Amino acid sequence: MSNRAPIKSVDAFAYTIPTQEPESDGTLEWHATTMIYVEIRAGGQTGIGYTYAHACTAALVRDLLAGVLTGKDALQTGARYAQMVAAIRNNGREGIASMALSALDVALWDLKGKLLGAPASALLGATRDGAPVYGSGGFTSYDQAQLAAHMARWVGELEIPRVKMKVGREPWRDPRRVAAVRESIGPDAQLFVDADGAYAPKQAAELARRFAQSGVVWLEEPVYHRDLQGNALVRSLVPVPMEIGNGEYGCSPATFAQILAAGAADVLQADVTRCGGFSGFIAADGLCQSQTRPLSSHGAPYATLHAALAAKSLRHIEFYYDHVLIEQRLFDGAAPPKRGVLFADPTRPGIGLQLRRPDAERYAA
Ligand SMILES: [Mg+2]
């Protein structure tokens, strides 16, 4: 194959950003978020990408995947993706290796956009100018008053008519917390809940019945994500029109195909920073088209935007609290949504983001 833009260098940096206060969901507690930021240089341009993963992911980029990419053609994103997938085989297709690969795939699409002078969404085949978002946060670490105010802010101040809260840490309290949030956001906003795998299947079905009384229309990962039969059982038991969302940990098309085949999701979720970057997200979109199922993105909204603008099955982007704070603080070009819709700036090539290096370096891990 020709090589019009040989890759000169690949770099990776880890930044650990503390949360404003300790946070938790149904199954995890944390007090900081680590971003792995990558750069790929070719043809006088620099492509950027990132993922949220342990700092060791940066070493995997530098020690393994940089060598796979260096010297190869930056424009042949499909070949670069396939070679990275082949190179991580012995390190595990699902997990950190795919998160490294995902950051690099996004950087390759950003680089291609800069080399060709076009937004990444145009190169991917844009289907829309803006993508709807839903506000996502509502941690289980918040007391009820804090939770209600936090959720009301998405709908009121930020004008986003869809919001998601965490459940599952103290299941017996969940119906009351959900009812309090419904009261705070008013009758019209869509309300989603995410259990992060905390429930048992029949417990989830019973709680879903009670959540439905507060107008909950989306129950995410009710039981452990690898328990596809358990998730499918819950999906068969929840009241109509509640939908089950699943897929945020998927790293490969094979995993998404298994979730869909098991009937474990009404809406497939895919995370650009885990599922293979834009290449993997568009593959997940193809699987959704094959089953006429909607696709919703997970995490990292500003890394996701251009792939979401291209995905034909897209329903919405998760506008996740922790990641929004980090991305709006560290990147130029991370503009807020307008009335619940996130738009790309058509004058910016690639993914339209630029790291504010001095701000990021304060958090060097
Ligand atoms: Mg989730």
pLDDT in tens, 277-328: 999 999 999 999 999 999 999 999 999 999 999 999 999 999 999 999 999 9
**Catalytic positions, written as ranges:** 166, 298
How do residues 11-44 score in pLDDT, each as one tens digit? Answer: 999 999 999 999 999 999 999 999 999 999 999 9
Task: List, for residues 39-62, the tens digit of each pLDDT value.
Answer: 999 999 999 999 999 999 999 999
Q: What confidence score (pLDDT) does residue 88 get? A: 98
The DSSP result for 207-257, as a single string, is HHHHHHTTTEEEEE--B-TT-HHHHHHHHHHSPTT-EEEE-TT--SHHHHH
Q: Ligand 1 centre from 122 Cα, in Å?
A: 29
Residue-level pLDDT at 2? 81
Q: What is the Å distance from ligand 1's center to 118 Cα?
A: 32
DSSP 171: G
pLDDT at 365: 87
Q: Is the pLDDT of residue 1 over 80?
A: no
| 4 vs 71: CA distance, rounded Å | 11
* Cis bond before residue 241 (omega within 30° of 0): yes
State how far the Cα of 96 lies from the Cα of 5, in Å rounded to an integer: 28
Distance 256 CA to ligand 1 centre (A): 15
Distance CA 303, CA 67 (A): 24
Domains, the chain: 7-118 (3.30.390.10), 122-351 (3.20.20.120)
The predicted-structure confidence for 95-150, as pLDDT tens digits, reads as follows 999 999 999 999 999 999 999 999 999 999 999 999 999 999 999 999 999 999 99
Query: Rounded mean pLDDT of the chain?
Result: 98
- pLDDT tens for 198-246 read 999 999 999 999 999 999 999 999 999 999 999 999 999 999 999 999 9
Render pLDDT for 140-195 as a digit per residue (tens, 0 to 9).
Answer: 999 999 999 999 999 999 999 999 999 999 999 999 999 999 999 999 999 999 99
Predicted TM-score (pTM) of this structure: 0.98
Task: Give 42 Cα–ligand 1 centroid separation in angstroms.
Answer: 36
Distance 166 CA to ligand 1 centre (A): 8
Residue 133's pLDDT is what? 98
Residue 201 confidence (pLDDT): 98
Å from CA of 329 to ligand 1 middle: 23
| Residue position matching structure tokens 């094959």 | 290
